[in-house]
Amino acid sequence: MADETENKLKDEKITEDSDTTASNATSVEEMIEDENVVQEEIDPKQIELNEALARVSSLEDQLLRSQAEIQNMQQRHAREIQNVHKYDGQKLASAVLPAVDNLERALLVESEDAVAQQIKTGVEMTLKTLVQALTDNGISATGEVGETFDPTKQQAIQSVDSDNVDADQIASVLQKGYILQDRVLRPAMVAVAK
């Protein structure tokens, strides 16, 4: 019986050892797999690749932004050139307008003799040529009597009672206004009917 008990104890010990060995083998396999996973995670080439991909993504974003900025600059430049061409006569027109006003005032003076009449005819021809040059360059007068008052193009100097025009219409023009294309060079100074 003692032998039988010893054999049982030996069998149990062998079973325990084989279980421990099997469990140790499983643990070793798990450790090897964990090391492979860790090596895959820490693989320097993979890290380098990930960093390179991040740099490429960043550079692609910078490239797209730069291209958009260049396109915006080109469009802005094209608009500026278009405005320069459209309003290129603005400075000259602003300088010439006082001369036009003076010629118009000169024509208001009555001429009594032949010499004065000839001078007046010369002033009329000069004014006509100057007005035609302004018109050819897109400059037009604004602020005619009877026209509806537009505060974007005319400046009301006074309000007057008038039987000749309706309310909110221009009763008299004190100084003509001028427009270049769609830009007001000088607003007309007018009296508006009440």
CATH at 152? 2.30.22.10
Tally Cβ neighbours within 10 Å of residue 126: 14
The predicted-structure confidence for 165-190, as pLDDT tens digits, reads as follows 888 889 888 899 999 888 898 999 99
**What tokens does 187 get?**
């607003």
Read off the pLDDT of each residue in 114-121 and give the average, rounded to a whole number.
Answer: 90
Read off the pLDDT of each residue in 60-85 and give the average, rounded to a whole number.
Answer: 92
Q: Are residues 52 and 97 in the same domain?
A: no
Domain boundary residue, one of 61, 83, 105: 83
**Are 90 and 183 a contacting pair, CB within 8 Å?**
yes
Q: What is the Cα–Cα distance from 162 to 146, expressed in whole angstroms?
A: 11
Enumerate residues 6+ apart whose C-beta is below 8 A from 144. 170, 173
Q: Are residues 74 and 120 in the same domain?
A: no
* DSSP bridge pairs for 154: 188
Task: Give pLDDT, residue 162.
Answer: 82
Query: In the predicted model, is pLDDT for residue 32 greater than 70?
Result: no
The pTM assigned to this predicted structure is: 0.57
- Number of independent structural domains in the chain: 2
Task: Give pLDDT, residue 110.
Answer: 86
Q: Parallel, antiparallel, or unpaired: how do β-strands 177-180 and 139-142 relate?
A: antiparallel
User: pLDDT higher for 7 or 148?
Assistant: 148
Domain boundary residue, one of 83, 105, 120: 83
Q: What is the Cα–Cα distance from 194 to 182, expressed in whole angstroms?
A: 28
The predicted-structure confidence for 124-164, as pLDDT tens digits, reads as follows 999 999 999 998 888 888 888 888 898 889 999 988 888 88
Task: Give pLDDT, residue 43.
Answer: 83
Residue 118 belongs to what domain range? 87-193
